[in-house]
Structure 1
Amino acid sequence: MNKKLFVLLIALMSLSLLGIVFVQGYWISNAYRTKADQFTINAKQVLLAVSKEIKLREVEAYYQLYIPYVDSIEVPNSATFTELAYRIQNKQTNETYIFTDGILEQDYKLSAGFFDSDADTIQFRKLTNRKTKTKVSEGLDGTTLTETRVESFSRLKDYEQNQFESFVSNITALTPIYKRVSVSEITSLINKELKERGLKSKFDFAVYSNNLETKVRSKRFKYDDKSTYVVPLFSGEKKSGYELYVNFSEKEKLVLNSILGMALLSLVFTAVIILAYSSAISQIYKQRQISQIKTDFINNMTHEFKTPIATINLALDSLKNPKVKDNREFLERYLGMIRDENKRMHAQVENVLRISKLEKNELDLPKERVSLQEVVEDAISHVSLIVEDRGGYIKTHYGALKSTVLANESHLTNVIVNLLDNAVKYSEDEPKIDIYSENGKNSVILKIRDQGMGMSKPVQKKIFEKFYREHTGDIHNVKGHGLGLAYVKRILDDHDAEIYVESEKGKGSTFIIKLHLIS
C-alpha cells in the first residue's frame, strides 16, 4: 500500500474514533444534565406541594374556629338549592328507584372583629350535600307506595377560598414562625412528597424570613448553590417574606446513579473499540515493518549469496587452468576457498531453516542432563580458530559450583556459538571475550562479555526480534540478517530460561543467560 494512502487511512480512522468518543462523551454529559433538570423539577414540585400543604393546614385550623359562629347565624343573606335526580326501573319486580343528589348553598357575612383583624366582614358560603333514595312500588290493592330514605348528609367546604385565605394571612402575618410551623411537620411533609414521586434522597432545610435564617431549621442544613432549592412559604404575605430552603445533599449521587449503568456500558464498549483499533493499528504497523524487513532481508541475502557464489566460480575457473592443476599449493588454496564459501552459504541457509521450524513449532527439543560448563567449552571450540586468526582471546572464569541443567545439548551449544560469533563480529579490533559463571538461587548464570562496539538502549530492546539489525545507513560493516539472536531467544524460551543484555555504546556488551539447575 502507498505510504501516503496508508497515513491518510490511519488519520481518517483516528478522526472517526475521536468522533465516536466525543459523541459518547456528549451523550453522557447531556444525559446527566437532563437527569439533573428532571431532579430539579421534581424537587421544586415537592417544595411547592409542601408549601401548599402548610398553608392549607393553617387556613383549615382557623376555619375550624370559624364554623361555630357561622352556624349561629339563623338567616343567611341568600340561599340556593341545586338538585340532580335520576330514575331506575326494575321491570321484573315492578319497582322504581329515584335517586337525588342535592347541594344547598347559603351565603353569609360575619364580622371579622372576633379575630382582631382589620377586615370589617368575611364573606362565607355554607355548602350542604344531601343524597336520597326513594322506592316506588304498587301495593296489593293497586295503591302506590313510596319510601324515601336519606343516604348521606354532609358539610362541604364553607368559605370563599381567596377572601378567607387573605383574611387568615392578615391575622398570622405577625405570628412568630416557630408557632406557625414545626421542624417535624416540614420533615414529615417532605418525606411524604418524596415517597409519592419515588425519590430517595437525604435532605436538610431551613426557613428564612427576608433572607434571615429563623429557628425553624434542621441541624445539618448548609446552603449549596447546586443542590439547594427555594420556594415561598405562606405566599401572599407581604410583611413576613418567609421562604423554605431545602438542600438535597445526595442530588449528584442520585443523578449519577440514574445514568451509571448506561454510561458504564457506553464507556466499556468505547474502550473495547479503542483497544481493538489500537491493536489493529499496531498489527498493521508491525506487518509493514516485517514486510520492509523481509524485503531488506532478501536483498541482503542475495548480496550475501552473490559474493560466495562469485568466489566459488572464480576458484573453479582457476582450477581449470593447467598451471594451477600442477601446483598443489594453489590447488589446496582454491579448494579451501570453495569449502569455506560453501560452509558460509550453508550456515546462512541453516539459520533460515531453524527460524522457519521454530515458527511452525516443528523443532523437537528433547532434553537431558548436561553440564553447562561442558557446553560452553564445546561452543568455544567452534569459534576459537576465528578468534585466534584475528589475534583475540576467549577467557573463562567459572565461579559456579553447580552447572548441571536440563537442556538440549545441540541447540544450547548453538546458542552459545551464536553469542560468541556476535561478540567476534561486533569487535572492531581483535576480539576480547570473557565468559563468567556463577550460581544464584536454584539457577546458574552465564555471562558473555566482549569489548566491541556496544549498543544503545533503544537497540537493546529490539535485538531479539527476528530480522532486526541496528540501522547504520547505507554502510554495512557487519554482515548478517538479524536471525541469530532471534534463534537464541526462541531456544532459551523453550528451556524456560532468561536472557538479557547490558551494553553501552563504544564499551562492549554483556549477554546474561539464567538457567534452572537440576539436582
Structure 2
Amino acid sequence: MNKTRFRLLVFFMSLSLIGIILVQLYWVNSSLKNNEEQFRFHIQQVLGKVASKLQANDRYEFFALYTHFRDSSGRRPQREEMLTYYNRYKSRNKGKKVIYSDSMSQRDYNLFFDNQETNKFLADSLPDADERQQSAIAKGSGKSGDMEVWQQYQLDMYLRDFREQNPLEARVTKDWLRKTLKTELSQNGVDTHFEYGIYKNGLATKIRSEGLQWDDETSYEHNIYSERDGNPGYRLVVAFPEKQTFILSSIFGITSLSLIFTLIIIIAYLSAINQLIKQKQISEIKTDFINNMTHEFKTPIATINLALDAIRNPKILSDTEKVQRYLQMIRDENKRMHSQVENVLQISKLDKKELDITKEQADVHDILEDAVEHVHLIIEARHGTLTRHFEAKRTTALLNDVHFTNVLVNILDNAIKYSPDEPVIDIYTENVKDFILIKIEDKGLGMSKNTVKRIFEKFYREHTGDIHNVKGHGLGLAYVKRIIDDHNCNIYVESEKGKGSTFIIKMPLIN
C-alpha cells in the first residue's frame, strides 16, 4: 500500500468516525431537549390539576358550610347571612378541623367536576334573582343560558366571600398539598424530589416546604385563583432540585448503550489504524531484513567462492600453507552463515515457546568473563579497550549459562559494531537489595529516543544512511529481550545520540 492510499484510507476512516460521534452527540442532545419539553409539559399538567383541586377544596368547604346552614335553618341563606356565619364559624371552630360528613353528601362533592350537575345544584340551592334582576337579564341577550350565568356569578361571589373571610392557611395544609402534588407527579411518571409552596403577590405564604428556592431552570409556577375569584396574585410553585439528574436518568439506558457501542467503534478504529501502521512498519522492516540478509549472505558466499577458485589454482594447491588459510576462511564464513541462521531459528522457537531453557545456579561474574572472552579478539583487532568494574559481592543467580552468555555477547557485539572509532567498553556490576545490576557502557554512536523505544523489536534496525554500514539483521536484541524475560530479569537502555549507550540488566539473586 503506497503512502497516498494509506493516508486517504486513514482520512476517510477518521472522517466517518467523527461523523458517527457527532451524530451520537446530536441524538443525545435532541433526546435531552425532548425530555426537557416533556418534563415541562407534565409539570404544567400537574400544576393545573392541583390548582383545580385547590379550588375544588374551597368549593367543598363552602358547600359544607352552606349545606349545614341551610339544613339547620330550613331555608337557603342570603349572602349577608353567610358572611356573619363565616365569622361565627371561625370563632367557634378556631383550631379545630370540622368535617360535615353527615350533611354533605358524596353527590355534592362530585358536583365540582360536572358542570351540568353543578348548575342544577345552583338552581336548587342558591337564591334566585329578584324580579328587577330577572327583568334586566330578560332585556339582555334573551338567551336561556343567561340565568345560569347569573347563578354562576352568585356562586363566585359566595366563594369570594368565603376565601376573604378564611385565609389560605385555614383552608389548605402543607401535608395535603404535598400529598396531592406527589400523587399527581407519580401518575405522570415524575418520581423525583421536589419542593413546593404557594406565593401571594410575590411573597411566600406559610404553605411551603422549607427547602423551596426559586431557580429559573428547575422551578415552575401556575396561577391558582383567577381575578374574578377575588384572590389575584396566588401562584403555586414547585421546584425540582434534582431535575437534571432525573432527566438524564430517563435516557441513561439508551445513552449508555450508545456510548458503549461508540467506544467499541473507536477502539476498533484505533486498533485497525494501529494494525495498519504496524503492518506498514513490518513491511518496511521485512524489506530491510531481506536486504540485510541478502547482503550478509552475499559476502560470505562470495568469499567462499573466491577461496574455492583459489584452491583450484595448481600453484595455490601445491602451497599447503595457503590452502590451509583458504580453508580456514571457508570454515569461518560458513560458521558465520550458520550463526545467522541459528539466530533466526532461535527467535522462531522463542515465538512458539519451543525453546527449552533449563536454568542452574551460576556465578554471574564467571558468565561475564566467558562473554568477554568471545569478543576479546575482536576488540584487540579494533585496538579497543574493555574495562571490568566488578563491585558486586553477591553474584549467584539462577540462569542458563549458554543463552545468558549469548545475551551478553550480543550486547558487547553491538557495543563494538556501533563504535566508529576504537571501541571503549566498561562493564559494571553492583548489588541492589536482592538483585545484581549488570551495566555495559560504550562510547559509540548512541541512539535516538525513538530507537531506544523500539530497539528490542524483531527485525528493527535504525537507519544510518546506508543500511549496510553495520552488519546485522535486527534479531540480536530481540533474542536478548526474550531470554531476559525468560530469566525473570529486566533490561533497560540509556542512550544519547553521539555519546554512546548503556545497557542495564537487573537480575534476581539466589538467597
Identify the TM-score tier after normalising by the shorter chain. Answer: 0.7 to 0.9
Q: TM-score of the superposition, structure 2-length normalised?
A: 0.80
Q: Deviations over 1:286-310 (max 9, x none)?
A: 1221122112211121122122222
The yes-or-no answer on 1:190 pairing with 2:181 is yes
CA positional deviation for 1:222: 0.6
Matched-pair contact (CA < 8 Å) for 2:292–2:468: no
CA positional deviation for 1:390: 0.7
CA positional deviation for 1:206: 2.8
The yes-or-no answer on 1:411 pairing with 2:403 is yes
- 2:161 matched residue in structure 1: 171
Higher relative contact order (CA 8 A, sep 6+): 2
Report the structure number with the largest CA radius of gyration.
1
Matched-pair contact (CA < 8 Å) for 1:174–1:240: no
- 2:121 matched residue in structure 1: 158
Matched-pair contact (CA < 8 Å) for 1:203–1:247: yes
Structure holding more helix per residue: 2
1:374 to 354, 362, 366: 366
The yes-or-no answer on 1:435 pairing with 2:427 is yes
2:317 to 319, 325, 329: 325
CA positional deviation for 1:484: 0.3
The yes-or-no answer on 1:205 pairing with 2:227 is no
Distance 1:518 1:510 in 2: 25
Cα 1:316–1:219 change in 2 (3 A) is: same
Q: Deviations over 1:414-433 (max 9, x none)?
A: 11110110010011111111
What is the correspondence of 1:279-318 to structure 2 with a 5 Å cutoff? 279-318=271-310
Q: Percent identity?
A: 51
Distance 2:258 2:407 in 1: 50
CA positional deviation for 1:177: 4.1
- The alignment partner of 1:461 has SS state of helix
CA positional deviation for 1:413: 0.8
Distance 1:128 1:408 in 2: 99
Distance 1:310 1:230 in 2: 97
Corresponding letter in the other structure for 1:61? E
Give the CA RMSD over aligned residues: 3.0
- The alignment partner of 2:357 has SS state of coil
Matched-pair contact (CA < 8 Å) for 1:206–1:244: yes
The yes-or-no answer on 1:113 pairing with 2:76 is no
Corresponding letter in the other structure for 1:205? Y
Corresponding letter in the other structure for 1:163? Y
Matched-pair contact (CA < 8 Å) for 2:427–2:440: yes
Matched-pair contact (CA < 8 Å) for 1:128–1:156: no
What is the correspondence of 1:390-401 to structure 2 with a 5 Å cutoff? 390-401=382-393
Distance 1:112 1:510 in 2: 108
Q: Deviations over 1:381-405 (max 9, x none)?
A: 1110000111112221211222222
CA positional deviation for 1:498: 1.0
Distance 1:212 1:361 in 2: 82
Distance 1:314 1:400 in 2: 49
Q: TM-score of the superposition, structure 1-length normalised?
A: 0.79
Matched-pair contact (CA < 8 Å) for 2:451–2:462: yes
The yes-or-no answer on 1:453 pairing with 2:445 is yes
Corresponding letter in the other structure for 1:425? K
CA positional deviation for 1:111: 4.5
- 1:19 matched residue in structure 2: 19
Distance 1:406 1:474 in 2: 41
Q: Deviations over 1:33-79 (max 9, x none)?
A: 3333322222222211111111111122222333366669999xxxx
Cα 1:69–1:354 change in 2 (3 A) is: closer
- 2:458 matched residue in structure 1: 466
Q: Which blocks of at least 5 consecutive residues in structure 2 are unaligned?
A: 85-104, 108-116, 123-147
Matched-pair contact (CA < 8 Å) for 1:227–1:249: yes
CA positional deviation for 1:196: 3.6
- 1:31 matched residue in structure 2: 31
The aligned length equals: 453
Cα 1:6–1:218 change in 2 (3 A) is: same
Q: Deviations over 1:459-508 (max 9, x none)?
A: 11110000111122345431211110000001111111111111111221
Distance 2:359 2:11 in 1: 50
Distance 1:68 1:381 in 2: 122
CA positional deviation for 1:156: 10
What is the correspondence of 1:125-274 to structure 2 with a 5 Å cutoff? 158-159=121-122, 162-168=152-158, 170-171=160-161, 174=164, 176-236=167-227, 237=229, 240-274=232-266
Corresponding letter in the other structure for 1:297? F
